[in-house]
């Protein structure tokens, strides 16, 4: 078991705490393997009635995502290490999604990318005043993965498309209002919530209901009409044209944000959500995303996005293609083509 996780049994509850504080608990393949192993060990243990998934005490953030530098270094070569990571991470996502015992994810702090992937499959998802929820992948030439094609495509109206393209951060109240979090608790009540779950894991609903507080007003809902109108299209060019035609302050701000994102990544994201809305199962979604990830991780925009945002930090990525019209439908079709059966993702 890796020291990047704290895995322990406390009476009738299994606890998994992410423990890479210097990296804001960003996931490694070893962490994903460790979570899978713990879930498997507890699956048939009648003494374990519930699982708590959080981060190590006294540390910041819940989970800032995956190990992006590793993925970029692998993608610049043969991509084998990156593909292994995605395969393992997606199996963990799927296992969480299908797990029979209740899992309580404590999204206290940064919950981005891979952090979304470990929290959204859980039956209970607690947001706090510290929650910062986002899928910011288009800014590094990637796309919202870890099941985001499933989750975001099922949000109200066009909010999922808006979040996928812009990477907009949500606070805890907004995450709760959109159903991304099931409960909103002040952070200073989390210890009491965990204690009540340990005392009676069959009464999680009652414990969280008793400790919940009214969340702050969800600011994103005030923009709902604009989001649904201006992000209505499934083509990037039409969304950009709608923002330009509107010309208002909000639309102009969103247009400026999209100008900083990878055109390829934005087109991939829109296609992913369109496909995800019709997926028959979460396993189908993960197999679909794996094929896309296996290709995108080796393309120029991902390597360049990581260089600009994470390595050199000049925040001046040189996307290629540089404009939406340079990203052809044929290129997107190639990225989304199914993998050969021997290379395709499977849940086990």
Active site residues: 66, 114, 137, 145
Q: How far apart are the first and last CA of the chain?
A: 20
**Cβ atoms of residues 149 and 272 within 8 Å:** yes
> Using CA atoms, how far apart are residues 300 and 291, in angstroms rounded to an integer?
17
Q: Which residues of 101-129 are buried (b: 16+ CB within 10 A; e: fewer)?
A: bbbbbbbbbbbbbbbbbbbbbbbbbbbbb
Residue pair 269/143 in contact (Cβ under 8 Å)? The answer is yes
Packed helices 80-98 and 68-75: angle between N→C axes, nearest 10 degrees: 140
Question: Prior bond to 182 cis, omega within 30?
Answer: no
- Helix, strand and coil percent figures for the chain, each rounded to 5: 55, 10, 35
Listed in order, strand segments (DSSP E) in the chain are 5-10, 13-18, 50-55, 103-107, 110-112, 124-127, 132-134, 170-171, 183-184
Tokens of 13: 């509850």
The secondary structure element, H or E, covering residue 43 is helix 29-43
| Structural element, H or E, at residue 295 | helix 282-296
């Amino acid at each position: 078991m890796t020291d990047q996780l704290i895995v322990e049994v406390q009476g009738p509850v299994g606890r998994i705490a992410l423990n890479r504080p210097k990296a804001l608990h960003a996931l490694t393949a070893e962490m994903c393997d460790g979570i899978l192993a713990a879930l498997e060990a507890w699956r048939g243990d009648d003494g374990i009635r519930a699982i708590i998934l959080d981060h190590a005490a006294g540390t910041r953030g819940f989970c800032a995502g995956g190990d992006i530098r590793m993925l970029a270094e692998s993608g610049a070569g043969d991509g084998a290490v990156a593909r292994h990571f995605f395969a393992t991470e997606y199996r963990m996502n799927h296992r969480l999604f299908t797990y029979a015992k209740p899992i309580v994810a404590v999204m206290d702090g940064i919950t981005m990318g891979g952090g979304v992937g470990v929290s959204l499959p859980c039956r209970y998802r607690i947001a706090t005043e510290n929650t910062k929820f986002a899928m910011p992948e288009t800014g590094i030439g990637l796309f919202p993965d870890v099941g985001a094609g499933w989750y975001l495509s099922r949000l109200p109206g066009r909010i999922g498309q808006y979040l996928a393209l812009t990477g907009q951060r949500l606070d805890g109240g907004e995450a709760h209002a959109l159903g991304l979090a099931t409960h909103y608790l002040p952070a200073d009540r989390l210890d009491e919530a965990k204690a009540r779950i340990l005392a009676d894991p069959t009464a999680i609903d009652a414990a969280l209901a008793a400790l919940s507080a009214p969340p702050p007003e969800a600011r994103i809902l005030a923009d709902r009409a604009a989001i649904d109108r201006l992000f209505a299209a499934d083509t990037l060019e039409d969304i950009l044209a709608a923002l330009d035609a509107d010309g208002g302050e909000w639309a102009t701000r969103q247009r400026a944000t999209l100008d900083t994102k990878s055109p390829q990544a934005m087109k991939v994201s829109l296609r992913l959500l369109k496909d995800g809305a019709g997926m028959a199962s979460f396993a189908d979604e993960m197999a679909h995303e794996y094929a896309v990830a296996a290709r995108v991780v080796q393309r120029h925009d991902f390597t360049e996005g990581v260089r600009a945002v994470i390595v050199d930090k000049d925040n001046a990525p040189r996307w290629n293609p540089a404009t939406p019209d340079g990203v052809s439908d044929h290129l997107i079709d190639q990225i989304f083509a199914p993998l050969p059966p021997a290379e395709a993702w499977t849940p086990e």
